Structure 1
Amino acid sequence: MAKKTECAVVIDAPMDLVWNMTNDVANWPSLFTEYASAEILEREGNTIRFRLTMHPDEEDGQVYTWVSERTSDPVTRTVRAHRIETGPFEFMNIFWAYREVDGGVEMRWEQEFHVKDVMPFNDDAMAEHLLKNSAIQMAAIKERVEKAAVARS
């Protein structure tokens, strides 16, 4: 009933920089390649509710947008998030974890979801799409955070 994907990247930068840049949701359009805008709707402590809007789809020009909520824990260096507006999903839960490793900081994403039965694709197809896209986004994030780390030193 649920599918889970997991991917990770090691970013050659200090933990505080990786944590701060990747948790600055308002700045995600300059960190991720897929987001046109990120609007913060509400903040309460370490929890934020926000709307993400993607760039138009290359194939059909469709613009996808949804509201998510995420809670960061700077002590454990973890983040838990879920979609409020689920779009094609019955549910979408996301877990981010950061840990220092040789060569920098490992940032790991786990996505647990189930695609609505009425969709023209299934969980396996969505998992394949998410893994492919996560690799692209993680590479962009790695490049941009590492560039900021060099500029900071």
Structure 2
Amino acid sequence: MAGHTENEIVIDAPMDLVWDMTNDIESWTNLFSEYSKAEIIERRDGTILFRLALHPDEDGKVWDWVSARTPDEATRTVRSHRVQTGPFKYMWIYWEYLQTDDGVRMRWVQDFEMRPQAPVDDAAMTERINGNSPIQLALIKEKVEAAAARAEVSG
């Protein structure tokens, strides 16, 4: 059994701004509410190796991992996967940016499988991702649209 999620949002902002802000990994601690740390480890051949850390759990445990991310500006897509998989057997994430009449539709597709010893199974992780992704997408939308409004006023 494996998990699969698809979540999306439309952001009323220019494509370049949406692309630039959501691909600036070092600013993810400001863009997402769940990350306490986002650091670039290496950039090589168009792929970015980076470490993310969540805010501590109630018991003080900090979950962190290393991922590789390959953005393709020409197709406005990003392919990412966890290098340090932790509780996952694998975790692949696909980001897609599509221009619409209402703005940029940003879509996240996540495919994964949990390890047998993981604290949750595939169904529980699917539920967790589908519960958290809309929250994170709404925050991103709010922050990118605010940046677009500031740029419009100053520009």
TM over 0.5: yes
* 2:21 alignment counterpart: 21
C-alpha distance in structure 1 between counterparts of 2:54 and 2:121, whole Å: 22
* 1:111 alignment counterpart: 110
Number of aligned residues: 152
After superposition, where does 1:16-95 map in structure 2 within 5 Å? 16-57=16-57, 59-95=58-94
Secondary structure at 1:111's aligned position in 2? strand
C-alpha distance in structure 2 between counterparts of 1:68 and 1:150, whole Å: 32
Farther-moved stretch of structure 1 (113-122 vs 85-94): 113-122
Secondary structure at 1:117's aligned position in 2? coil
Secondary structure at 1:75's aligned position in 2? coil
Unaligned runs of 5+ in 2: none
Deviation at 1:131, TM superposition (A): 0.8
Cα RMSD after superposing both structures: 0.9
Instruction: Flag as ranges the 4+ runs of structure 1 deviating above 4 A.
Output: none
Unaligned runs of 5+ in 1: none
* 1:147 alignment counterpart: 146
TM score, norm. by length of structure 1 = 0.96
* 2:10 alignment counterpart: 10
C-alpha distance in structure 1 between counterparts of 2:145 and 2:28, whole Å: 15
C-alpha distance in structure 2 between counterparts of 1:102 and 1:144, whole Å: 20
